[in-house]
Copies of this chain bind each other. A is one copy, B any other.
Amino acid sequence: MSGSVNKVILVGNLGADPEVRSLPSGGMVANLRIATSERWRDRNTGEQRERTEWHRVVIFSEGLAKVAQNYLKKGSKVYIEGQLQTRKWEKDGQDQYTTEIVLQGFNSNLTMLDARGEGGGDSMGGGYGGQRQTENRRPSSAPAFEPGGMDDDIPF
């Protein structure tokens, strides 16, 4: 197939502490339960309504699994970027399917959104096992960044 994309972006809160397990192979896996909510006003009744969705997040990246283990807990707010994967398993001889958001490899992200002191403020990508970026590869000939304040005289 010409290229495809499979991406999930969540901002939500952990419904429980992370469950972290070591694997026989030496790796680590962390499982998170994340809630996202939406609120809206019902057009007919005019009453406030809310709906919460629960997501299963599985972190196979060792660096990110450690971040989860060390910094996340029930209630933590996180930004998550991963892929959808559905796996099959059996229960009482019946096929069951579970869909998860998998963080594994280069196109994953886990960023803590709580204020410092409430559990963190770091962000990490999945491809580097705990080290975000090993070098700024921007060529030295490139002009340095400079923000430009709100008061630059650019006409809004």
Residues of B within 8 A of A145 (CB): 51, 53, 85-88
A67 to chain B, nearest CB (A): 10
Residues of B within 8 A of A52 (CB): 147
B-facing mask of A130-141, CB < 8 A → 1, else 0?
011111111111
A106 to B125, CA, bound (A): 7
Q: A8-B9, A38-B133, A106-B128 are in contact. List 20 more A-B contacts (CB 8 A).
A: A1-B12, A1-B13, A3-B123, A4-B12, A4-B36, A4-B38, A5-B36, A6-B55, A7-B8, A15-B149, A23-B139, A31-B150, A40-B133, A40-B134, A43-B134, A53-B84, A55-B84, A91-B153, A104-B138, A105-B127
